[in-house]
Amino acid sequence: MKQNTQFETCSILGVNIAAVNMAQTLQLLQQNLESWRGEYICVSNVHTTVTAYQSPEYRAVQNGAVMALPDGGPLSAYSRKHGFANAQRVTGPDLMREVLKKSAETGWKHYFYGSTPETLELLRQKLAQSYPGAQVVGMESPPFRPLTEQEEAASMEKIRQAAPDFIWVGLGAPKQERWMAAHRGALPGIMLGVGAAFDYEAGNIQRAPLWMQRCSLEWLYRLMQDPVRLLPRYLQTNLRYIWLTKVLKK
């Protein structure tokens, strides 16, 4: 375990997970927005933590963030068990929603990078309805392939010209974390990797009922919605997480 100057972190399989709650996270973002421009925040779960444990390169990416938030219930529960009483889940969709809620009064500007053009169009409509006054200064759906140097340069210039405060990155893990780390210091806002948050906010995916979220069962609800993609991941990483943390006690 180690202590940040502003918040505590709990080392889980070598990843420094912020022992924070939503209110504290929002306060930290507001206090540090200017100094954190060009930096990035990871929203970490069991899958990303086990992946980082297995990959020193990806672990360095996670630990290179100004914060690695406990998106997964098991991560915040682990932190509480190890002495961090205030640690709570801070999910990507919830964090994006809370920041957008504050944006009308703060004047924060937002850029959305990732997903499909169809989802971004739905997202644009939903944001206008749900968060009046929030400034969306750009949306971009990159191709599902590596960008050429020219495409990459044009994309980065587009984001710089838009001058957002928050750059929401929805490329999915581990791609989005690697993308953010590769662009650290090159963009004007703070980057936040929020996975499926675009789909949740656009209405493509339904959130689990609150009781399932509170019981750390949101993974099960997501599994029922997308079993083909998620079952192999859960079998590989969730079982390994249980083995590493509960049996081997790493």
- Asked if the model's pLDDT at residue 208 lies above 80, the reply is no
The model's pLDDT over 143-184, given as tens digits with 9 standing for 90+, comes to 989 999 999 999 999 999 999 999 999 999 999 999 999 999
Q: Is the pLDDT of residue 113 over 90?
A: yes
* pTM (global) more than 0.85: yes
Query: Which candidate, 96, 60, 89, places its Cα nearest to that of 177?
Result: 60
Closest CA to 20 of 40, 37, 41, 34: 41
How many other C-beta atoms are found inside a 10 Å radius of the C-beta of residue 238? Answer: 19
Closest CA to 43 of 149, 180, 218, 143: 180
pLDDT tens digits, one per residue of 14-52: 999 999 999 999 999 999 999 999 999 999 999 999 999
Instruction: Please give the pLDDT value at position 248.
Output: 81
Q: Is 39 helix (H, G, I), strand (E, B) or coil?
A: coil
CB count within 10 Å of CB 234 equals 17
pLDDT at 4: 59
Evaluate if residue 60 carries a pLDDT over 90. Answer: yes
